[in-house]
């Protein structure tokens, strides 16, 4: 052997023993010996007392300890098939295949697509995957860490010793990989990354499919490919739903950890399977069309409600394993309910085991804090201009639609993504290349997200929580919009709740708060939300924020809900709001289900159920939400009485509903409103009916029209409008 070669080998082995070798496959495993007619096999096991080599023919030969640090070596004639028999202190023996006798798994084509950011199913290549290499089955691990000096796989299977399984570096991508034969499902693991600074970082798998239950933070090897779905009929029909634009969409927003608990068992969470049997039938019975889940992706801190995600590819283990989450989604689909997940591509937390400074550098985030930090939330901002980061997020969106069959994503905090100066003062942000405040990379990312998900999964939806006047949020990307299916109407929600806080006697001076939305209601495809954000952080519950005595609060709440269902736009209601919970929502405890023993709360729930079912069967209440022809004011100017009246039309203009809303506790008798056609107008809904907890003021089931002109119509009806009540009427003859 040439002297230089021997010196290089000794140096490489010394680096290996010190945990600093960047190319372990060059020295470990089988290699031709200096004669060229045999092979030398090397293994590095610092905790081993001895290692024997068991050859394919059954012969067992002891390996020589070459270095006291744990390097063993043997020369054999043929090393194509062998196993290591490792003896640990106490005579404990383990027989294992040698990872270093296997070649590369990722192909050059994989690396090319991953580098240019077009491998939209990167979750099939990176992370931990059960694969077969030749006749051997094991787990392939791959990780992107381009600036690392060395990356090792660590877990219970190697004593969490980063010297044992250093990984192969694939250049120029900076992806590290290793194949571990015979590794079982359920094994915990992390990656030990040696940064250029010399620091050792222990990181969870960004593409991990499962995690330990927090506060533990290891990733878990999990094969998620074997679940047998039963929702084929639902998925086959999904493309024809067209994103639900002309269909009823009433969304029940849920935080899984606090919808209900099990107090007799230490106030524990319900499991995914228990929720499939309890939550799904309840939501179906209530008449909702979708369940929207606050983020279920793995997150270390429960108090973040899931909005500070670290395990982007794993449903949280708090409620059970990944297959059990599939059981919940499957149950929803079999019950005819869609599933929407809150998704958080805008930021991530700084936890040491997560994405922050992943390989010792700003890899997923921007290096400059003027671009890379959300100071309000103490989190970091994704670098949307980096191919691999963009690909990470895009493949994550497809992952949930494909692997877990979800029907849509509600994208959190879109405004914070769109504006470079979001919540920043002068000098704290960096302008784009044109000198503007728009985040061009984020805009491009969102357009690609929506084009990709809608194109790959027709009928799936995306919804933006976007609180500014950014134009074209729900317009197609090819027309210059962001491409979302829907945008949350935050302005409508805030205006209406501000109005409800006013004493009824003062509402006449704030009438514009309930009418202003008509000026922009058709500029976007809006969802009308009464969301979780409105019942936390001292804002009070929906009931608590309404002015008046308890009777007035309940009556006003029913009218607010009626206004939501009468107003153009899809509907969203946070859990607990459907029965008028008094207390503010807390993520640490169950909803106050005991309130349903009281008539007033029973009434609100029954009222929401009736609104939902009327919403289903009346095309005028959902077909033309985003068509200006589907809405007309009858009278929006009666601020003195604080009464509003409107018409909602189906595509068939003869199919319409009349809706009247009285926001004062004064009954309005002989109240006349114009109607488009003569006939008998039956009461579909009266929010003041006693069955809903009201005082039963109404019109005896309906009224006939009269040939008296009013509000631009030749016909009109004369009504008794209940106090703090709403009426929905429809012509029956």
Residue 670's CB: how many other CB atoms inside 10 A? Answer: 8
CB 415 within 8 A of CB 400: no
> Among 4, 589, 652, 634, which residue's Cα sits nearest to residue 258?
589
Q: What b/e string do you get for 202-228 counting C-beta neighbours within 10 Å, with b at 16 or more?
A: bbbbbbbbbbeebeebbbbbbebeebe
How far is 482 from 454, CA to CA, in rounded Å? Answer: 12
User: In 78-190, where does DSSP find H-type helix?
Assistant: 108-116
β partners of residue 132: 137
> 129 Cβ partners below 8 Å, 6+ apart?
139, 140
Active site includes 677?
Answer: no
How far is 447 from 440, CA to CA, in rounded Å? Answer: 11
Backbone angles phi, psi at 374, to 5 degrees: -95, 100
DSSP string, 383-445: -TTSHHHHHHHHHHHHHHHHHS---EEEETTHHHHHBTTTT--TTSS---TTS-SB-HHHHHH
> Among 627, 683, 686, which residue's Cα sits nearest to residue 662?
686
> 232 Cβ partners below 8 Å, 6+ apart?
none
- Please give the torsion angle defined by the CA atoms of residues 464, 469, 473 and 477, in that order, rounded to the nearest 10 degrees: -140
Of the candidates 323, 373, 465, 466, the residue annotated as catalytic is 465
β partners of residue 313: none
The CA R_g of the chain, rounded to the nearest whole Å, is 31
- CA dist 639 → 27, 508, 510 (Å): 84, 5, 8
How far is 444 from 430, CA to CA, in rounded Å? Answer: 18
Residue 91, Ramachandran bin (φ over 0: left; ψ between -120 and 50: alpha; else beta): left
- Please give the torsion angle defined by the CA atoms of residues 682, 686, 692 and 695, in that order, rounded to the nearest 10 degrees: -110
β partners of residue 339: 291
CB 235 within 8 A of CB 241: no
User: In 419-531, where does DSSP find H-type helix?
Assistant: 440-456, 490-501, 512-515
User: In 51-153, where does DSSP find H-type helix?
Assistant: 108-116
> 391 Cβ partners below 8 Å, 6+ apart?
114, 117, 118, 119, 120, 122
How far is 565 from 648, CA to CA, in rounded Å? Answer: 10
Peptide bond into 172 cis (omega under 30): yes
CB 602 within 8 A of CB 609: no
Structure token pair of residue 48: 């081993």
Residue 607's CB: how many other CB atoms inside 10 A? Answer: 26
> Among 629, 634, 653, 648, which residue's Cα sits nearest to residue 721?
634
Active site includes 465?
Answer: yes
Structure token pair of residue 8: 């290089």
How far is 481 from 471, CA to CA, in rounded Å? Answer: 7
Of the candidates 98, 412, 448, 534, the residue annotated as catalytic is 412
Measured N-to-C along each axis, helices 599-617 and 550-566 cross at an angle, to the nearest 10 degrees, of: 10
How far is 82 from 58, CA to CA, in rounded Å? Answer: 9
Sign of the C-alpha dihedral computed for residues 61, 64, 68 and 69 taken in this order: negative
How far is 94 from 115, CA to CA, in rounded Å? Answer: 39
Measure the N-to-C terminal CA separation of the chain; round to a whole number of Å.
102
How far is 295 from 157, CA to CA, in rounded Å? Answer: 31
Tell me the catalytic residues. 412, 465
């Amino acid at each position: 052997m040439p002297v230089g070669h021997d010196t290089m080998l000794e140096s490489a082995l010394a680096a290996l023993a010190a945990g600093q070798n960047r190319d372990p496959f060059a020295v470990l495993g089988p290699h031709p010996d200096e004669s060229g007619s045999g092979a030398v096999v090397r293994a590095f096991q610092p905790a081993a007392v001895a290692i024997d080599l068991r050859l394919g023919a059954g012969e067992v030969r002891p390996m020589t300890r070459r270095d006291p640090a744990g390097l063993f070596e043997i020369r054999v004639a043929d090393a194509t098939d062998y196993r290591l028999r490792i003896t640990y202190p106490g005579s404990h023996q383990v027989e294992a295949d040698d990872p270093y006798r296997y070649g590369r798994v990722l192909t050059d084509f994989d690396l090319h697509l991953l580098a240019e950011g077009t491998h939209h199913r990167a979750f099939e290549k990176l992370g931990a995957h059960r694969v077969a290499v030749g006749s051997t089955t094991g787990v392939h691990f791959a990780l992107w860490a381009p600036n690392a000096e060395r990356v090792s796989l660590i877990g219970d299977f190697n004593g969490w010793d980063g010297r044992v399984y250093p990984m192969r570096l694939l250049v120029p991508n900076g992806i590290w990989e290793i194949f571990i034969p015979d590794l079982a499902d359920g094994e915990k693991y992390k990656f030990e990354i040696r940064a250029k600074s010399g620091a050792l970082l222990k990181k969870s798998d960004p593409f991990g499919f499962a995690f330990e239950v927090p506060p533990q933070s290891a990733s878990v090897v999990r094969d998620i490919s074997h679940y047998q779905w039963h929702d084929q009929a639902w998925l086959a029909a999904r493309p024809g739903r067209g994103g639900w634009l002309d269909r009823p969409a009433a969304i029940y927003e849920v935080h899984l950890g606090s919808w209900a608990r099990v107090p007799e068992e230490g106030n524990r969470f319900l499991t995914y399977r228990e929720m499939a049997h309890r939550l799904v039938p309840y939501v179906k019975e209530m008449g909702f069309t979708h369940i929207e889940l606050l983020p279920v992706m793995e997150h270390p801190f429960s108090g973040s409600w899931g909005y500070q995600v670290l395990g982007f590819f794993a449903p949280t283990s708090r409620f059970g394993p990944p297959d059990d989450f599939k059981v919940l989604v499957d149950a929803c689909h079999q019950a005819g309910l869609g599933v929407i997940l809150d998704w958080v591509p805008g930021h991530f937390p700084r936890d040491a085991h997560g994405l922050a400074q992943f390989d010792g550098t700003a890899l997923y985030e921007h290096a400059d804090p003027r671009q890379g930090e959300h100071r309000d939330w103490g989190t970091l901002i994704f670098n949307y201009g980096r191919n691999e980061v963009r690909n990470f997020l895009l493949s994550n969106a497809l992952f949930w639609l494909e692997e877990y069959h979800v029907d849509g994503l509600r994208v959190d905090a879109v405004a914070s993504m769109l504006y470079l100066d979001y919540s920043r003062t002068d000098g704290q942000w960096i302008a784009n290349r044109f000198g503007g405040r728009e985040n061009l990379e984020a805009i491009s990312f969102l357009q690609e997200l929506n084009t990709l998900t809608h194109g790959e999964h027709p009928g799936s939806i995306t919804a933006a929580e976007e609180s500014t006047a950014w134009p074209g949020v729900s317009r197609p990307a090819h027309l210059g919009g962001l491409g979302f299916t829907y945008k949350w109407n935050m302005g409508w929600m805030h205006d209406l709740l501000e109005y409800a806080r006013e004493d009824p006697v003062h509402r006449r001076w704030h009438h514009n708060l309930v009418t202003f939305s008509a000026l922009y209601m058709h500029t976007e495809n809006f969802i009308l939300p009464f969301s979780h954000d409105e019942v936390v952080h001292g804002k009070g519950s929906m009931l608590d924020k309404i002015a008046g005595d308890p009777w007035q609060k309940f009556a006003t709440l029913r009218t607010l809900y009626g206004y939501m269902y009468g107003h153009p736009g899809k509907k969203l209601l946070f859990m607990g709001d459907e029965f008028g919970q008094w207390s503010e929502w807390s993520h640490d405890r169950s909803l106050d289900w005991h309130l349903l023993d009281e008539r007033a709360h029973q009434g609100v729930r029954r009222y929401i159920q009736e609104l939902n079912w009327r919403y289903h069967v009346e095309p005028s209440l959902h077909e033309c939400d985003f068509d200006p022809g589907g809405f007309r004011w009858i009278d929006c100017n009666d601020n003195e009485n604080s009464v509003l009246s409107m018409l909602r039309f189906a595509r068939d203009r003869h199919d319409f509903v009349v809706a009247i809303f009285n926001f004062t506790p004064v009954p309005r008798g002989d109240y006349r409103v114009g109607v488009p056609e003569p006939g008998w107008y039956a009461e579909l809904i009266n929010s003041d009916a006693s069955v809903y907890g009201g005082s039963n003021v109404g019109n005896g089931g309906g009224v006939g029209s009269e040939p008296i002109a009013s509000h631009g119509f030749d016909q009109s009806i004369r009504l008794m409008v209940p106090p703090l009540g709403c009426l929905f009427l429809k012509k029956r003859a």
